[in-house]
Amino acid sequence: MFDKTLAELAKGLHQGEYSSVELTQAFLQRIQQQDSRYNSFISVCEDQALNQAKVADQAIATGTAGAFTGLPIAHKDILCTQGVRTSCASKMLDSFISPYNATVVERFNHAGAVTLGKTNMDEFAMGSSNETSYYGPARNPWNTDYVPGGSSGGSAAAVAGRLTPAATGTDTGGSIRQPAALCGITGLKPTYGRVSRYGMIAFASSLDQAGPMTRSAEDAAMMMNVMAGLDPRDSTSVDRAVPDYCAELNNPLQGLKIGLPKEFFTDQLNPELAQQTQNALKEFEKLGATLHEISLPNTSLSVPAYYIIAPAEASSNLSRFDGVRYGYRCDSPVDLEDLYKRSRGEGFGTEVQRRIMIGTYALSAGYYDAYYNKALQVRRLIQNDFVSALNEVDVIMGPTTPHPAFKLGEKTSDPVAMYMEDIFTISLNLAGLPGMSIPCGTANGMPIGLQIIGDYFAEQKLLNVAHQFQLATDWHQQSPEGTGEE
């Protein structure tokens, strides 16, 4: 059953092939047996999961079950989960037990989902490799010497390693799409405001967005049907009708106009990755789509603009972790200043400290206009590029990352090299657009992803395009060695 998609597992559940309790027990046992290789989970919720599964089986037996009832999933450890540690993979929150559920968690609970546990991540979602986690790096199931990507690396590794059928992730600058690409799974970043941020511990409030990480586009559509929608508790949540994301998956792609940004196809790309991306685009042509070269001229400015805006917002958001109200507190502070300094210095890791310092500097008097305000102006230019391009084409495509997964430790000493791994994903967060990554081949023996970008609230179209590609190819069905049925 570990190789089944959410849709296939749902069918089996409702046809009585197995119960939710049996399904949950199987995945919990698999996590216990396999996760020492991947380190993809921070917390496993065995008792809670089995209780939820029992309730789900009762709903199925009485005919009151919904489409998601009884399906096991995992949540990124940035989403508050009532009664469960929510750590953000940081020493700062290692002892924090959330008193409430994030809206995303709450909606899955109401839909009858079973929470297997909380997944590993980069500390406070700051990183592109899952190496900044206080609990040690998650590892890529395709080769455990390699990174799974970040910051949602634990979710990606858990899905790729068949420890969970699906997981939630969050995406601030590519943190769903990049690890999805590096681990060979499907990941969707919705339009900013489509999914509530309430209860999602904030990194950069104008960029963060939660989304699904799954085996297939069909599974991602099932998750979006649960996750999406207005939340009065989130002031950035958009009041817009939520479609049935599964309804248009089977629409043909005849006449689809695909834009190919020339800025995404440069000699900086890994050659094998570039070739596999071209092969994927040829598949779309076979499905009736047409390819059109476009330009997103400000793409090169996305990384510097992002690394002003995101740290500035992080500096503000993380100021609440001061050793006073909750979270890590240093031992025997001599005065209030010592409490602040040592609690934050000991509780935050190196990358988080670096971004707080950069953000504080950018927001300081005398530098605000030169850095932060200028970055906001660049952000608008990047958004305008996308709006203009999407007036001419239906979707935009290109590689999700410039390279396949890299070895653990390979880029930790060079933060700029690490930041550049997100060059194709960051611009979507700055613009607030939806985008997804789907498996489209391998390079250097590791999975790679094709990124599909759409207009605002065009998630239905992205899922349709991705699903049609997955009907024609089998990249999304391939699994790392040793993760098949046992």
First to last CA, the chain: 9
Spatial contact of 305 and 378, defined as CB atoms under 8 Å apart: yes
**Mean pLDDT value across the chain:** 96
Q: Is 343 a catalytic residue?
A: no
Strands in 446-453's sheet, in edge-to-edge order, are 41-44, 114-119, 72-76, 166-170, 210-214, 186-189, 435-443, 446-453, 395-399, 257-261, 290-294
The question of whether 151 is a catalytic residue gets the answer yes
Identify the domain containing residue 116 by its residue range.
Answer: 6-255
Residue 194 belongs to domain with CATH number: 3.90.1300.10
* Higher pLDDT pick, 54 / 325: 54
Closest to 408 measured CA to CA, from 155, 147, 134: 147
Of the residues 175, 196, 302, 427, which is catalytic? 175
Q: Measure Cα distances from 45 to 25, 48, 116, 201, 215 in Å.
A: 11, 5, 5, 20, 22
| Residue scoring higher pLDDT (417 or 274) | 274
Mean pLDDT for the stretch of residues 419-428: 92
DSSP state string for 278-293: HHHHHHHHHTT-EEEE
Share of the chain above pLDDT 70, in %: 99
- Catalytic-role residue among 40, 43, 76, 98: 76
Q: Is the pLDDT of residue 198 over 60?
A: yes
Q: Please report whether residue 322 resides in a domain.
A: no
Report the amino acid identity of residue 85.
R
182 in any annotated domain:
yes
Q: What is the pLDDT of residue 238?
A: 97
- Tell me if residue 464 falls in helix, strand or coil: helix
486 pLDDT band, cuts 50/70/90, is: very low
**Helices of type H across 63-133:** 103-110
**Residue 476 covered by a domain:** no
Residue with tokens 């200043």: 337
pLDDT of residue 436: 98
Note whether 458 and 483 are within 8 A (CB).
Answer: no
465 within 8 A of 214, measured Cβ to Cβ: no
* Residue at 114 is within a domain: yes
Of the candidate ranges 139-143, 312-316, 362-366, 392-396, the one whose mean pLDDT is the lowest: 362-366
Do residues 180 and 162 touch, judged by C-beta distance below 8 A? no
* DSSP helix/strand/coil, 440: strand
Summarize pLDDT for 396-412 with one digit per residue, the tens.
999 999 999 999 999 98
461 catalytically annotated: no
Catalytic residue among 20, 129, 151, 152: 151
Considering all CA atoms of the chain, what is the largest pairwise distance in Å, rounded to the nearest integer?
A: 70
Residue 195 has pLDDT above 70, yes or no: yes
332 in a structural domain: no
Query: Which secondary-structure segment (H or E) carries 205?
Result: none
The sign of the dihedral angle between the CA atoms of 155, 457, 226, 232 is: positive
What is the tally of structural domains in the chain? 1
Nearest CA-CA partner of 188 in 384, 433, 448, 440: 433
Q: Is residue 113 part of a domain?
A: yes
Q: Are 321 and 327 within 8 A, CB to CB?
A: yes
Contacts of 462 (CB under 8 A, 6+ apart): 188, 395, 434, 435, 436, 452, 453, 454
pLDDT digits (tens, 9 = 90+) for 332-358: 999 999 999 999 999 999 999 999 999
Residue 129 falls inside a structural domain = yes
- 471 pLDDT above the threshold of 70: yes
* Residue 104 banded pLDDT, cuts 50, 70, 90: very high
Residue 146 contacts residue 156 (beta carbons within 8 Å): no
Could you tell me where the DSSP H helices lie in 63-202? Answer: 103-110, 153-160, 177-183
Q: Please indicate, yes or no, if residue 315 is contained in any of the structural domains.
A: no
Q: What is the mean pLDDT of residues 456-475?
A: 98
Q: Residue 100 carries which DSSP code?
A: S
Under the banding of pLDDT at 50, 70 and 90, the label for residue 365 is confident
Q: Model confidence over 25-77: pLDDT tens digits?
A: 999 999 999 999 999 999 999 999 999 999 999 999 999 999 999 999 999 99
Taking residues 196-205, what's their average pLDDT?
A: 96
